[in-house]
Amino acid sequence: MPAKAEKVIFSAEIRKESKEMSDNQLTELIEKYLDGSMTAEERTQFELLRKNDATVESRVAEHMQFIGLLKQYGERLELEKRLNAIHDEIDVHTLKEEVTIHPTWVVRMWRNHHSKISVAASIAIFAVLGTLIFTGKLSNDKSKYEKLSEKINNMERTVAQIGNGSRTPVKPKAPIVSPAKYRGTGFAITSNGYLVTDYHVIKDADSVYVQNAAGEAFHAKVIYAEPQYDLAILQINDATFKNLGPVPYNLKRSESDLGENVYTWGYPGDNVVLGAGFLTSAASYSGDTTEYQVQIPVNPGNSGGPLLDEKGNVIGIITGRQTQVVGAAFAKKSAYLLKTIQNIPTDSLTKTLNLNTKNTLAGLNRKQQLKKLKNYVFMVKVYNQ
């Protein structure tokens, strides 16, 4: 028989077989063809079938489109997985603090991006659903695509809730308030966001926030620490932070005299507290000459706060108290803070760190000094996972 006649008879047999196939058998054959599991001879036969049977060709095209959408859905799931991984790395307390302190943050985010979220999600939902219905997958093979359908339905409900598409308004949940594990005090050493506090306040912290007298909180990072002096330098790295005015005090380089009147300004509680007293020793209770002993009332939250003399010079940083002596506290001498600042590696600084050398608190009475001082002393909140 001539080769041409053999080809015609062969094609006719293939068409006859395709008509006798069940829908599921044809689907399995298409899947074998597309995933490359056919032998060379089977592939040749199937390609002839595609060429000579418009119905089969149409089914192949539909199946390829369906596989493409499944791939897109898989990529979306992978993206979701990656976003969840990023979420796990996010400072959870940061997010909670943002929502707590700025309750309109979520509303602003939705207003800025809701149209993009709704449109993108809706297109994905209807594209997948439309293809599934068109190709008959939802009715012909429910067991295989049941989970996919359920996920899509869940996605649709989520978009409806986010977009508040129903007439029943979605009641917003109250923000979760996450209390800090512990806290202390810090104060500005520059106007552009560099602060100092005690090392023991921020040791092992997963995240750090500083809060000003107005109740505004800003995320901060530890850029340098010297545990031997119990000192740590922070930098506010929050986009909402605006530079302070010129720092009104300076760091005293020489030692102060015993008996000198001093005061501290810090956050042993939710409100700033003034503590007044005087220098009692040039060394701590244990004989540490890097610290002053001060007769002044302090509590754990005062750690990291400034110790100032009557002229408004910062002469030390509150580090702790002596529990065996009523009113006795300790303050690291400002000379060691200056050494710590000098030791900060240059590559740790993203902004200039220029210390103020002019004291504008000198000549003012105590009440006037406190009014100028209040915006430069911060509550330091420390979080741990």
pLDDT digits (tens, 9 = 90+) for 78-122: 776 776 665 555 554 445 444 444 444 444 444 554 544 554 555
48 closest CA partner among 4, 11, 8: 11
Residue type at position 364: L
Beta bridge partners of 381: 183, 209
Residue type at position 312: G
pLDDT at 105: 45
Is residue 106, in this structure, part of any structural domain at all?
no
Q: What crossing angle do the helices spanning 40-52 and 23-35 adopt, rounded to 10°? A: 120
Per-residue pLDDT reduced to its tens digit, 60-82: 888 888 887 777 777 777 776 77
pLDDT at 378: 96
**At 210, which CATH number?**
2.40.10.120
Whole-structure pTM value: 0.56
222 closest CA partner among 109, 103, 320, 304: 304
Is residue 110, in this structure, part of any structural domain at all?
no
Beta bridge partners of 221: 235
Q: Give the residue, 177 or 377, on which the prediction is more confident.
A: 377
Is residue 12, in this structure, part of any structural domain at all?
no
pLDDT at 231: 97
To the nearest whole number, what is the mean pLDDT of the chain? 78
Whether the pLDDT of residue 18 is over 80: the answer is no
Per-residue pLDDT reduced to its tens digit, 282-316: 988 778 899 999 999 888 899 999 999 999 999 99
Mapping DSSP onto H, E and C, the string for 248-294 reads CCCECCCCCCCCCEEEEEECCCCCCEEEEEEEEECCCCCCCCCEEEE
Q: How far is it, in rounded angstroms, from Cα 171 to Cα 164?
A: 10
Per-residue pLDDT reduced to its tens digit, 193-248: 999 999 999 998 889 999 999 999 999 999 999 999 999 999 999 999 999 999 99
Q: How far is it, in rounded angstroms, from Cα 319 to Cα 328?
A: 12
Tokens of 259: 């008996």
Among positive and negative, which fits the CA dihedral 277, 232, 320, 273? Answer: positive
Strongest mean pLDDT among 142-156, 311-325, 351-365: 351-365
Which residue matches tokens 């449109």?
119
Is residue 103, in this structure, part of any structural domain at all?
no
pLDDT at 313: 96
Q: How far is it, in rounded angstroms, from Cα 33 to Cα 51?
A: 14
Is residue 330, in this structure, part of any structural domain at all?
yes
Mapping DSSP onto H, E and C, the string for the chain reads CCHHHHHHHHHHHHHHHHHHCCHHHHHHHHHHHHHCCCCHHHHHHHHHHHHHCHHHHHHHHHHHHHHHHHHHHHHHHHHHHHHHHHHHHCCHHHHHHHHHHCCCHHHHHHHHHHHHHHHHHHHHHHHHHHHHHHHCHHHHCHHHHHHHHHHHHHHHHHHHHHHCCCCCCCCCCCCCCCCCCEEEEEEECCCCCEEEEEHHHHCCCCEEEEECCCCCEEEEEEEEEEHHHCEEEEEECCCCCCCCCCCCCCECCCCCCCCCEEEEEECCCCCCEEEEEEEEECCCCCCCCCEEEEECCCCHHHCCCEEEECCCCEEEEEEEECCCCCCEEEEEEHHHHHHHHHCCCHHHCCCCCCCCCCCCCCCCCHHHHHHHHHHHEEEEEEECC
Is residue 38, in this structure, part of any structural domain at all?
no
Whether the pLDDT of residue 369 is over 80: the answer is yes
The answer to whether 218 and 210 have CB atoms below 8 angstroms apart is yes
The answer to whether 223 and 351 have CB atoms below 8 angstroms apart is no
Is residue 311, in this structure, part of any structural domain at all?
yes
Domains in the chain: how many in total?
1
Per-residue pLDDT reduced to its tens digit, 139-185: 444 444 555 556 556 665 555 555 554 444 444 443 333 556 678 99
Burial label, 335 (beta-carbon count in 10 A; 0-12, 13-18, 19+):
middle
Domain that holds residue 195: 180-385
pLDDT at 149: 57
Instruction: State how far Cα 357 lies from the chain centre.
Output: 36
Is residue 105, in this structure, part of any structural domain at all?
no
Torsions phi, psi of 270, nearest 5?
A: -75, -20
